[in-house]
């Protein structure tokens, strides 16, 4: 595996490449062209400039998170082909730039959803948290206001103001889309992009829905073992793969994370590894990465990745906000650096104990 950190680009991120370079064991970053809109074709020059900036800092551009999928593709409108053509152009240019892993999601309207971006924990750190009771009280249009007031002046992925201004329209678009329709639209999209992925050896890595259940009545399909295996079979090409995000699949306590990892051998192209602390089955907060701080056995998760021969990029996920850092919630330097170091420690122990 290759330890990486997510980085939004020098215009958007409070963390610098120089800082990332100094985290022991982190050799790559996962980045994106953060100011491109979903549906736009990525230009080769911009990808190469991003790559060069990262390489000049002594790091590798280990993959893209994310190339976002336009809502017309997810809904399956008559216009979808033009957006898929643009997506194919983006993949072609990424392939030409030597990028081989692309993370994306197929979540309607909202990306990930949290109800608090700065819940205070007993040690004084703040974390992202979710409580179903709060979602049940909100109407979807108010969701954005509740999130945006907590973003520390940053723009969080999936919660761009331009996008949220259209929220009513977005909900209307998805009115007739149920789980089956969403599966069919995902299949259509994947079948059209697989040839360019085959040509340039690009591993597509779908990020699970977060939380792993329906929010505001919208369909959610990438939520459990049964559905993800259905998706793998539906387009049975190794380039159709998975971002295994423990914190997203883990929102549903019925998901057995190590078992899911083992069932996806050969199809996990990217891993997000983090812990959650549950106060009840529908109230959780994003704990420190350490097993004892939350509900997951992080050793078992890393062991399962080792057992299936996982060799893709991995990253610590959302960190707590600690030591008075001001950053995009979940994406500060300090706690993610601690997370990377901890995961590297687990990995070293696993590798050495298997000699």
Q: What residues numbered 269-288 form the site for Mn ion, per CB under 5 A?
A: 272
Nearest distance from C-beta of residue 67 to Mn ion, angstroms: 15
Do residues 245 and 289 lie in contact, with contact meaning Cβ atoms separated by under 8 Å?
no
**Part of the chain binding Mn ion (CB under 5 A), chosen from 28-36, 43-51, 129-137, 240-248:** 240-248
Residue (95 or 157) nearer to Mn ion, CB: 157
State the sign of the Cα–Cα–Cα–Cα dihedral 31, 35, 38, 43. negative
User: How many residues form the binding site for Mn ion (CB under 5 A)?
Assistant: 2
Return d(Cα 111, Cα 209) in angstroms, integer.
Answer: 8
Q: Does 245 bind Mn ion (CB under 5 A)?
A: yes
Which entry of 331, 334, 335, 342 is annotated as an active-site residue? 331
**Part of the chain binding Mn ion (CB under 5 A), chosen from 87-95, 103-111, 244-252, 263-271:** 244-252
Q: Who contacts 2 (Cβ-Cβ below 8 Å, separation ≥6)?
A: 27, 28, 60, 62, 311, 312, 313, 314
Is 245 tagged catalytic? yes
Is 256 tagged catalytic? no
**Of 269, 250, 267, nearest in space to 315 by CA:** 269
**Of 228, 299, 308, 211, nearest in space to 261 by CA:** 308
Residue (72 or 116) nearer to Mn ion, CB: 116
Residue (196 or 204) nearer to Mn ion, CB: 204
**Part of the chain binding Mn ion (CB under 5 A), chosen from 95-103, 133-141, 189-197, 268-276:** 268-276
Instruction: Retrieve residue 316's tokens.
Output: 């610590």
Do β-strands 240-245 and 277-280 pair in parallel, antiparallel, or remain unpaired? unpaired
Nearest distance from C-beta of residue 309 to Mn ion, angstroms: 21
Nearest distance from C-beta of residue 117 to Mn ion, angstroms: 16
Nearest distance from C-beta of residue 24 to Mn ion, angstroms: 23
Which entry of 70, 100, 239, 272 is annotated as an active-site residue? 272
Residue (156 or 245) nearer to Mn ion, CB: 245
Which entry of 71, 87, 210, 245 is annotated as an active-site residue? 245
Residue (245 or 314) nearer to Mn ion, CB: 245
Is 207 tagged catalytic? yes
Is 331 tagged catalytic? yes
Q: Who contacts 158 (Cβ-Cβ below 8 Å, separation ≥6)?
A: 107, 110, 111, 112
Is 354 tagged catalytic? no
Q: Does 26 bind Mn ion (CB under 5 A)?
A: no
What DSSP string runs through 76-129?
Answer: T-TTHHHHHHHHHHHHHHHHHTT--EEEEE--SS-SS--SEEEEEPTTS-EEEE
Distances (CA, A) of 1 to 84, 200, 253, 270: 31, 21, 26, 9
Q: DSSP code of 213?
A: S
Is 269 tagged catalytic? no
Q: Where in the sequence numbering do the catalytic residues fall?
A: 207, 245, 272, 317-318, 331
State the residues that interact with Mn ion by CB under 5 A: 245, 272
């Amino acid at each position: 595996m290759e330890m990486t950190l997510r980085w939004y680009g020098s215009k958007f991120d409070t963390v610098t490449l120089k800082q990332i370079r100094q985290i022991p064991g982190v050799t790559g970053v996962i980045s994106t062209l953060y100011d491109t809109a979903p549906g736009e074709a990525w230009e080769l020059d911009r990808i190469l400039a991003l790559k060069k900036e990262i390489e000049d800092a002594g790091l590798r551009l280990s993959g893209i998170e994310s190339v976002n999928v336009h809502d017309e593709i997810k809904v399956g409108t008559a216009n979808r082909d033009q957006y898929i053509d643009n997506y194919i152009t983006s993949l072609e240019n990424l392939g030409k730039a030597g990028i081989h892993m692309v993370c994306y999601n197929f979540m309607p309207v909202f990306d990930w959803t949290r109800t608090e971006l700065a819940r205070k924990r007993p040690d004084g750190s703040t974390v992202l948290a979710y409580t179903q009771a709060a979602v049940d009280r909100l109407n979807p249009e108010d969701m954005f206001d509740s999130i945006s007031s907590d973003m520390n002046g940053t723009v969080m992925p999936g919660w761009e103001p331009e996008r949220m201004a259209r929220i009513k329209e977005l909900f209307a678009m998805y009115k007739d889309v149920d789980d089956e329709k969403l599966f069919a639209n995902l299949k259509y999209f994947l079948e059209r992009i697989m040839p360019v992925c085959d040509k340039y050896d690009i591993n597509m890595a779908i990020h699970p829905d977060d939380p792993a259940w329906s929010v505001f009545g919208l369909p959610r399909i990438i939520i459990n073992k049964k559905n993800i295996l259905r998706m793998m079979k539906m387009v049975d090409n190794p380039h159709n793969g998975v971002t295994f995000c423990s914190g997203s699949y883990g929102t549903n306590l019925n998901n057995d994370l190590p078992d899911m990892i083992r069932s996806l051998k050969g199809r996990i192209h990217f891993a997000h590894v983090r812990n959650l602390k549950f106060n009840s089955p529908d109230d959780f907060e994003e704990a420190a990465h350490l097993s004892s701080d939350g509900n997951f056995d992080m050793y078992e998760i890393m062991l399962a990745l080792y057992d299936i021969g996982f060799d893709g990029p991995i990253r610590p996920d959302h960190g707590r906000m600690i030591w008075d850092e001001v950053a995009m919630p979940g994406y500060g330097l300090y706690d993610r650096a601690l997370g990377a170091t901890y995961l590297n420690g687990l990995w070293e122990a696993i590798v050495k104990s298997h000699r």
